[in-house]
Amino acid sequence: MKLMISIALLFLLPSCASQTSVVYIESSPEPLDGVIQTKIKDTVSLVCTLNGTHEDKELVWLRNGAMIKLNDGNKENRSCVCINPVIQKDDGATFTCQLKSNSSHSASVTLDVTYSADLSGSEEVTLEEEESLDLQCDMRANPLATSVTWKLNGTLVDLSTGGFIITNDGINTKLYAKKVDRSLHEGSYECTVTSPGYGPQSKTFQVTVTDKTIKFPLMPTIAGVVVVALTTLLAIVSRWRVIAKCCK
């Protein structure tokens, strides 16, 4: 079985190579196994070249399967695209160059973009007593974050008091408490995400807890008034219909 696969590969490989050599991509920085290592805000330039003479010389570029608009004069025989600046959304994006008339003649490269968590600044949060505390920070980073911490007034949040729950789903880190109590929950919170190659990134939340207010149920009252008004209107309209019919 193994032998059969090896033989199949022997026959497959040269045909793949001859297909991909019709168009090829050169890039700066250079790719390794089809992957270009880069980081946020950097520039990546890609040049696609048509190898040899072909009837159709027009090239097209795709980013994750979506066509990239090219200027005239940047389509025949050779076409270049420049990713400047590289953004977080380019991480994992695949750039494909292909012959316009035959998409089976194509070449691709994929970007691997390193970035740190994008955290900064301070946010004011005001809660009433007994409301729930729900803070979250974006923890996405490449390479993945190695540490995620939450602090309250400068010391690590104590999970044994205050009913705090911390959850990390790889996208967000969340700090939650079901019912806030001013003495336990008011203060300055800080989330910090550290990823290799980047320093720690933090965001703060100034949480103020105010007295509980009794809320007047405004919405149900409005709904009730609307229903009464509509019913009256419908009654009048249907009466008018009857009257109109009589008039004919």
Ligand X SMILES: *[C@@H]1O[C@H](CO)[C@@H](O)[C@H](O)[C@H]1NC(C)=O
The residues of the shown chain that bind ligand X, judged by CB under 6 A, are 19, 21, 24, 51-53, 57, 76-77, 102, 104-105, 152-153, 184, 186-187
Spatial contact of 203 and 152, defined as CB atoms under 8 Å apart: no
Q: Where are the beta strands (DSSP E) in the chain?
A: 23-28, 35-39, 44-50, 59-63, 66-67, 78-83, 94-99, 102-114, 122-128, 133-138, 147-152, 155-156, 165-168, 172-177, 187-194, 201-210
Non-local CB neighbours of 124 within 8 Å, separated by 6+ positions? 205, 206, 208
Q: How far is the CB of 113 from ligand X (least distance, A)?
A: 26
Whether the CA torsion 144, 147, 150, 153 is positive or negative: it is negative
Q: How far is the CB of 106 from ligand X (least distance, A)?
A: 10
Query: Between residues 154 and 217, which has the closer beta carbon with respect to ligand X?
Result: 154
Q: How far is the CB of 26 from ligand X (least distance, A)?
A: 9
Q: How far is the CB of 15 from ligand X (least distance, A)?
A: 9
Q: How far is the CB of 205 from ligand X (least distance, A)?
A: 12
Query: Between residues 39 and 75, which has the closer beta carbon with respect to ligand X?
Result: 75
Q: How far is the CB of 135 from ligand X (least distance, A)?
A: 14
* Torsion angles phi and psi, residue 57, rounded to 5: -110, 0
Query: Between residues 141 and 157, which has the closer beta carbon with respect to ligand X?
Result: 157
- In sequence order, what are the beta bridge partners of 124? 206
Instruction: Give the angle 69-71-74 at the CA atoms, nearest 5°.
Output: 110
Q: How far is the CB of 37 from ligand X (least distance, A)?
A: 22
Query: Between residues 118 and 181, which has the closer beta carbon with respect to ligand X?
Result: 181
Query: Between residues 104 and 160, which has the closer beta carbon with respect to ligand X?
Result: 104
* CA gap 190, 205 in Å, rounded: 6
Spatial contact of 169 and 148, defined as CB atoms under 8 Å apart: no
Indicate the Cα dihedral angle 176, 178, 182, 187, nearest 10°: 0
* CA gap 247, 234 in Å, rounded: 20
Two tokens, residue 119: 């955290």
Query: Between residues 22 and 86, which has the closer beta carbon with respect to ligand X?
Result: 22
Query: Between residues 26 and 138, which has the closer beta carbon with respect to ligand X?
Result: 26
